[in-house]
């Protein structure tokens, strides 16, 4: 990648060690002749990443999700430095960031492009999601009855606590907790996972790239809450179906050279198994 000459920092001051790490990295960037701008608010303001070569996000995955829409609009790669818990998106550890920061400024990283979902629910309500879109009853934990169509073909109707529509990136988030599948981030698919469906035969469904999904609320007495990445919400009435599809734009995500998705999954999910288990018979 080209060297970084203009670098934005998004710092979650609520994460332990994040402000201190920023105080270390920002002077290093400035000493290297890099122009720096900072923000401690997220979601970050519209236009904050305009003209930037990269954005260094110091916090957890939620902090990075708060920068995702602006990153996708401006096509500015996000360098996620984990000061949270799991850190599937913020893949650089703090020690890695310190030791490799000059190399990162020199462009020694790779960029992968992650699928985004776009969602609309009438009345000008439109948004993007990197991880997932959740549809549930807006007043609490009551059951909903939802009818799902794929390219105008009825899939089925669900009597459940809600539906999760996840990208491959988001397959390790709420989708995983609800029993959905893990999906490699390079796959261009959408996973739909029902939450506590009232039939044992309802399981996750994987939809192809290009599918147009439509969700109807079958209960006239309730409104639906539609949540993007657990951060932004809007409401959908019975007369406004929720429409979901894969967005044309992608999120540029910076990763270290030699990054291994399955190495991260093994570490974060604490999968067991060692070399002795892989070789078969001796």
Active site residues: 61
Q: Is the dihedral of CA 259, 260, 263, 269 positive or negative?
A: positive
Rounded-to-integer distance, Cα 42 and Cα 21, Å = 18
Element (H, E) at 164: strand 162-166
Contact 229, 115 (CB under 8 A): no
Contact 164, 178 (CB under 8 A): yes
Cβ–Cβ contacts within 10 Å for residue 201, how many?
6
Which one, of 6, 119, 128, lies nearest residue 66 by Cα? 128
Contact 43, 14 (CB under 8 A): no
Contact 155, 115 (CB under 8 A): no
Dihedral, CA of residue 8, residue 13, residue 18 and residue 23, to nearest 10: 60
């Amino acid at each position: 990648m080209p060297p970084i000459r203009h670098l934005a920092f998004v710092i979650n001051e609520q994460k332990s060690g994040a402000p201190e790490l920023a105080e270390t990295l920002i002077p290093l960037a400035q000493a290297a002749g890099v122009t720096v701008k900072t923000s401690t608010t997220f979601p970050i303001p519209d236009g904050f990443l305009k003209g930037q070569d990269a954005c260094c996000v110091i916090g957890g995955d939620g902090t990075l999700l708060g920068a995702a829409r602006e990153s996708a609009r401006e096509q500015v790669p996000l360098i996620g430095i984990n000061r949270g818990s799991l850190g599937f998106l913020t893949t650089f550890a703090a020690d890695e960031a310190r030791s490799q920061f000059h190399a990162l400024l020199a462009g020694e990283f790779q960029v992968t492009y992650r699928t985004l979902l776009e969602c609309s629910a009438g009345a000008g309500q439109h948004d993007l999601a990197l991880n997932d879109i959740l549809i549930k009853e807006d007043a609490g934990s009551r059951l909903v009855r939802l009818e799902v169509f794929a390219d105008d073909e009825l899939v089925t109707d669900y009597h459940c606590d809600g539906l999760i529509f996840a990208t491959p990136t988001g397959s390790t988030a709420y989708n995983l907790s609800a029993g959905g599948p893990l999906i490699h981030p390079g796959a261009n698919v959408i996973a739909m996972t029902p939450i506590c469906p009232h039939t044992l035969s309802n399981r996750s469904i994987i939809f192809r790239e290009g599918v147009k999904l439509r969700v109807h609320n079958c209960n006239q007495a309730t409104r639906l809450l539609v949540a993007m990445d657990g951060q932004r919400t809007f409401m959908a009435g019975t007369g406004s179906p929720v429409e979901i599809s894969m967005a044309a734009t992608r999120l540029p995500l910076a990763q270290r050279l030699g990054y291994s998705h399955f190495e991260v999954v093994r570490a974060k999910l604490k999968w067991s198994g060692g070399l002795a288990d892989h070789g078969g018979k001796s």
